[in-house]
């Protein structure tokens, strides 16, 4: 008897502590408040743990009571109401269980639960899923809130959270027609985890201020009325906007950041970063990629925004503006519209759609942006600031993917930290300085005044870091001695007949010793001609050299091929004004299993007193000299044959002894003989201010990822590159790193490579 009493007491205690388990057995339809629909028989109470594991439509015609609710077994469940005369009209599901084993609310993967207030008679019945203090919710399936406007009271469904609730979303929450919004959400009680989705399929609505994983998704569909959803938080995961029935302008109401953003359709309406009759200033930060598809229209500032308003997209990933898609600004005078490229790694830019707006400002403020299509930057002098603002990072263009600026547009900035690498076209009849460069060299070209200019003119310029004597020839006009060995510019006139005064930048890596005896030169098809030249800036001494800007004194009128190449020319010999005196290239390649060729080229001829020693090692240390060649005044190219190529990895470097006895060394390169591998061979310099040249040696074409970590092992920079067989040079910028010690390594499909340690000053 005592044993029976003890067992009964323990059973009662467990029921009181953890609730009575009840399972729905009411079949496909039934009423929550009918006890026979539950096992064991009985209407649920506040102490009951409820499980529904089969698909059913369950009528909630009285306030539901429960301790916890589990929807499982791939069930599709709908909670609905049919009677609006039973009071209270609000049906609130308030789970109270706070135990870790029995969650207050759990919706398993594969299961769906719909709250629907679809009533046919007059009245208003709302349904709410309310998470109380300390209640844990787990949503792995699909949770839908829906309603109907059949009742004049506008019935609604929603979620409500307590400040100490903990709701984890791994599945989908969907708000359909006549649903309300999530209330009580904070970054401390609602969590949209990786792969989760919140979807709004109605007019209005809001995305709560929750904690959003970068791989979560806020999805907007089917809006067609007079307002779009509001973003109550400041940071979200991905955003997908697909509103094929949209008829109004939706916009942000605050600064918001996202991961990837995809605009699929705005149906001829628009999504605006900033719009409205009052002065607003909003920034949309996109930490991933921005995609604008063919039916989408994205506006930085709407046409109703007054002066003082601003809209900005700060993009850290790629831009894909697809055919038919639009990225535009319509703001009134005095508004500011900005697209900032601010990525910590290269950003690919595709612009097949409509990219327009007279007040558009594009800000280059990242690492680099590679143009995959031709990009025509919109904007003109109506913008508040320059239409292209070069703050940091390079814009990389090619012949088929050039950068084009329209008439009256302007550029600001331009430095060794930020320029255009590749061809750039300027249209119109205004003076313009092309902010050109390559690697770590900033070498602008200017065009001014002249005659015959028209608004339809178009000129394309590019800076080339190569020996113009090798490409065009060394011949110079009488009285001139030689042209540069290391650089030249091209300037082509694409439309019009205008003549222009031309200016060239003479920078430290032009290796000019006498600016007053350095002139602008143009190739005429057979020789390099001297153009009448004056100095507009400088000379400024930089070590052994002089820098400044030189400009033609009379306008150049012939820009037809082949007269498109310009460089520096001097009437002094190479000793007095060498233009360059430096090692341009150093490389090696295998001739056979036992023989290799080591080659190098100088910027200019040198004295026979100079000496070049080819050094080799098989261990990357302990170099020994295997041959020596003296300098010569008759040539700049040198070659040494190594007839004792070893099996494995052969490292080479060049020891250079100048006429004055000073010694310097080239970069280290390598030849793979009978081995398949990739090496980070050398990096110059290893004490870095802005950038360094990394030499990578490979036995085959490879894709390599370069990873920079700090001394705590945290990844601070990462970029991917394609390298060729042999020795490749990669220019890497470190502008965003703070001063300190770092490690650089690489990975390929075969695994991790060696590590180089360096210091950032």
Q: Which range (35-44, 77-86, 94-103, 329-338) has the least confidence?
A: 77-86
Are 746 and 705 spatial neighbours (Cβ–Cβ below 8 Å)?
yes
Least confident among 73-77, 282-286, 398-402: 398-402
* Alpha carbon 167 to chain centroid, angstroms: 32
Note the pLDDT of residue 152: 41
Residue in the structure block whose two tokens are 């109907």 = 148
Which residues are CB-contacts of 670 (< 8 A; sequence separation ≥ 6)?
588, 649, 650, 651, 652, 679, 681, 697, 727
Q: What is the mean pLDDT of residues 479-500?
A: 94
Model confidence at 153, pLDDT cuts 50, 70, 90, reads very low
Mean pLDDT for the chain? Answer: 89
> What structural domains and CATH numbers belong to the chain?
461-570 (no CATH), 583-672 (2.60.40.10), 676-760 (2.60.40.2550)
How buried is residue 621: exposed, middle or buried, by Cβ count under 10 Å (0-12/13-18/19+)? exposed
The pLDDT > 90 percentage for the chain reads: 62
Per-residue pLDDT band for 750 (boundaries 50, 70, 90) equals: confident
Residue 257 zone, left/alpha/beta (φ > 0; ψ -120 to 50; rest): beta
Residue 396 burial (CB count, 10 A): 20
Q: What's the gap between Cα 694 and its chain centre?
A: 23
Phi, psi of 432 (to 5 degrees): -155, 140
Interacting residues of 302 by C-beta distance below 8 A, sequence separation 6+ = 249, 251, 270, 272, 274, 275, 276, 330, 331
CA separation (Å) from 381 to 328, 365, 454, 578?
Answer: 16, 21, 17, 42
Question: Which pLDDT band, with edges at 50, 70 and 90, does 19 fall under?
Answer: low
pLDDT in tens, 559-595: 988 789 999 999 988 666 655 446 888 889 889 999 9
Please give the pLDDT value at position 138: 97
Q: What is the pLDDT of residue 406?
A: 92
pLDDT in tens, 51-82: 999 999 999 988 899 999 999 999 999 999 87
pLDDT at 520: 98
pLDDT at residue 5, as a whole number: 39
């Amino acid at each position: 008897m005592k044993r029976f009493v003890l067992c009964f007491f323990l059973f009662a205690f467990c029921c009181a502590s953890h609730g009575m388990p009840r399972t729905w057995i009411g079949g496909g339809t039934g009423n929550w408040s009918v006890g026979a629909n539950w096992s064991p028989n009985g209407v649920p109470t506040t102490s009951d743990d409820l499980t529904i594991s089969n698909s059913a439509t369950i009528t909630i015609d009285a306030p539901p009571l429960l301790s916890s609710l589990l929807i499982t077994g791939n069930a599709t469940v709908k909670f609905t109401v049919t009677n609006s005369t039973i009071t209270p009209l609000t049906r609130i599901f308030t789970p109270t269980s706070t135990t870790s084993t029995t969650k207050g609310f759990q919706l398993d993967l594969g299961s769906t639960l719909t709250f629907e207030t679809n009533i046919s008679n007059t009245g208003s019945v709302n349904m709410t899923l309310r998470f109380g203090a300390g209640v844990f919710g787990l949503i792995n399936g699909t949770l839908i809130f829906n309603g109907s406007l059949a009742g004049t009271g506008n019935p609604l469904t929603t979620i409500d959270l307590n400040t100490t609730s903990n709701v984890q979303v791994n599945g989908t929450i969907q708000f359909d027609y006549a649903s309300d919004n999530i209330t009580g959400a904070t970054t401390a009680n609602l969590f949209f985890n990786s792969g989760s989705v919140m979807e709004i399929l109605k007019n209005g609505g809001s995305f709560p201020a929750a904690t959003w994983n970068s791989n979560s998704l806020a999805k907007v569909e089917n809006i067609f009325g007079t307002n779009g959803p509001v973003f109550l938080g400041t940071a979200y995961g991905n955003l997908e906007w697909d509103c094929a029935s949209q008829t109004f302008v939706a916009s942000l109401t605050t600064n918001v950041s996202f991961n990837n953003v995809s605009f699929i359709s705005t149906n001829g309406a628009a999504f605006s970063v900033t719009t409205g009759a009052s002065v607003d200033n909003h920034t949309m930060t996109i930490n991933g990629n921005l995609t604008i598809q063919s039916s989408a229209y994205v506006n930085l500032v709407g046409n109703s925004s007054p002066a003082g308003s601003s809209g900005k997209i700060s993009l850290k990933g790629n831009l894909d503006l697809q055919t038919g898609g639009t990225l535009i600004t319509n703001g009134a005078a005095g508004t500011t519209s900005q697209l900032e490229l601010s990525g910590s790694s290269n950003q690919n830019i595709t612009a097949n759609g409509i990219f327009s707006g007279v007040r558009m400002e594009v800000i280059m403020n990242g690492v680099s942006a590679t143009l995959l299509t031709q990009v025509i930057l919109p904007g003109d002098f109506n913008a508040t600031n320059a239409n292209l603002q070069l703050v940091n990072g390079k814009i990389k263009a090619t012949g088929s993917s050039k950068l084009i600026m329209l008439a009256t547009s302007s550029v600001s900035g331009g430095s060794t930290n930020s320029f255009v690498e590749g061809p750039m076209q300027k249209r119109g009849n205004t003076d313009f300085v092309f902010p050109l460069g390559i690697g770590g060299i900033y070498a602008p070209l200017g065009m001014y005044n002249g005659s015959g200019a028209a608004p339809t003119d178009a000129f394309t310029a590019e800076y080339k870091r190569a020996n113009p004597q090798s490409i065009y020839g060394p011949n110079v006009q009488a009285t001139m001695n030689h042209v540069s060995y290391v650089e030249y510019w091209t300037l082509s006139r694409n439309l019009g007949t205008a003549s222009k005064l031309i200016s060239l930048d003479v920078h430290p890596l032009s290796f000019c010793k006498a600016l007053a005896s350095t002139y602008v030169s143009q190739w005429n098809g057979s020789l390099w001609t001297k153009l009448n030249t004056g100095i507009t800036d400088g000379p400024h001494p930089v070590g052994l050299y002089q820098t400044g800007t030189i400009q033609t004194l009379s306008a150049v009128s012939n820009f037809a091929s082949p007269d498109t190449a310009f460089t520096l020319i001097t009437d002094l010999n190479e000793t007095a004004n060498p233009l360059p005196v430096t090692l341009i290239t150093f490389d090696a390649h295998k001739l056979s299993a036992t023989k290799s060729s080591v080659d190098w080229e100088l910027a200019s001829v040198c004295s026979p007193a100079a000496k070049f020693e080819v050094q080799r090692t098989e261990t990357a240390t302990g170099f020994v000299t295997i041959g020596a060649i003296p300098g010569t005044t008759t040539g700049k190219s040198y070659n040494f044959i190594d007839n004792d190529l070893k099996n494995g990895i052969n490292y080479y470097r060049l020891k250079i002894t100048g006429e004055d006895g000073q010694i310097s060394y080239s970069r280290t390169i390598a030849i793979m003989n009978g081995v398949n591998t990739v090496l980070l061979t050398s990096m110059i310099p290893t004490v870095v201010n802005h950038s360094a040249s990394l030499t990578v040696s490979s036995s085959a074409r490879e894709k390599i990822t370069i990873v920079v970590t700090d001394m705590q092992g945290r990844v601070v920079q990462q970029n991917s590159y394609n390298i060729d067989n042999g020795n490749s040079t990669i220019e890497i910028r470190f502008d965003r790193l703070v001063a300190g010690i770092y490690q650089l390594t690489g990975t390929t499909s075969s695994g991790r490579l060696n590590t180089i340690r360096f210091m950032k000053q």
